[in-house]
Structure 1
């Protein structure tokens, strides 16, 4: 009887925690989806709205058989998004893993990048987000890029 009573008391707390985690997971995903929506629309204001102050971008490149960590300037990226370009920048992602602890989220997303309808490259993004007063914001993005062996 004691165990039944204890289970009855703990079940609502477990359910509430699961609901909160689900809401936070969806909010994190929404920030990333907004980032890519801004890219597709060429809307630099929308893209910038997803960044935390001091956000950092990196890509992992293979140059002449050597792996290199290449920094990218988020401001330059935002300017490039906002400049008129002939083809839509369409990065198609799926959410592989979303991990959250308090105000920190880590998100792993395989992707394929298209210029209009033409495949360009693929890889994985790793996003680090922080929950600030204005909601979940992207603090760091690092990605891989290749033309084959996607996913």
Structure 2
């Protein structure tokens, strides 16, 4: 009897490990939208970036400067998309990892640490917090807020 429970516990443990390593289809779809956003940014492809955004998307940055209070600053998604598509000398390369993806029905929240490079030169780092919604055409980014700093990166 004990042997049967041990085998069952081992099987359940293996199944849990396999599940943790393989993203659920919705998690993979959410991650694909964010990956496409940054691929478009690296490629300078404003159409690709725009395709990942929900209508009415909102961008914010938490601005911090030594000796000053933190400020919440809006950024224009339209201006960002336009800047991505405007030729620039260096590739905009934001390197992220998916630390946490939470999904309930048609809402997803994603936490991604990042390092941003202009070409091969480190610029800044921080964390992105994405809010995505599942629309008829799939997962789209509704809100991005991020922190930015030049030191104390992961």
Residues 1:98 and 2:101 are matched in the alignment: yes
- Matched residue count: 134
Equivalent of residue 115 in structure 1, options 101, 114, 118: 118
Residue by residue over 1:85-136, the C-alpha shift from the partner in whole angstroms, topping out at 9 and shown as x without a partner, is 0000000000000000000000000000000000000000000000000000
TM-score, length of structure 1 as denominator length = 0.86
Partner of 2:142: 139
- Structure 1 residue 60, shift from structure 2 partner: 0.2
Partner of 1:3: none
Equivalent of residue 130 in structure 2, options 120, 127, 130: 127
Residues 1:57 and 2:63 are matched in the alignment: no
- Structure 1 residue 65, shift from structure 2 partner: 2.0
**Structure 2: 5+ residue stretches without partners:** 1-18
- C-alpha distance in 2 between matches for 1:118 and 1:66: 29
What SS does the corresponding residue of 1:33 show, helix, strand or coil? helix
Structure 1 residue ranges (4+ consecutive) displaced by more than 3 angstroms after TM superposition: none
- Structure 1 residue 62, shift from structure 2 partner: 1.1
Partner of 1:10: none
TM-score, length of structure 2 as denominator length = 0.84
- C-alpha distance in 1 between matches for 2:64 and 2:147: 9
Partner of 2:78: 75
1:10-21 pair list within 5 angstroms: none
- Structure 1 residue 24, shift from structure 2 partner: 0.1
- Structure 1 residue 66, shift from structure 2 partner: 1.6
- Structure 1 residue 50, shift from structure 2 partner: 0.2
What SS does the corresponding residue of 1:36 show, helix, strand or coil? helix
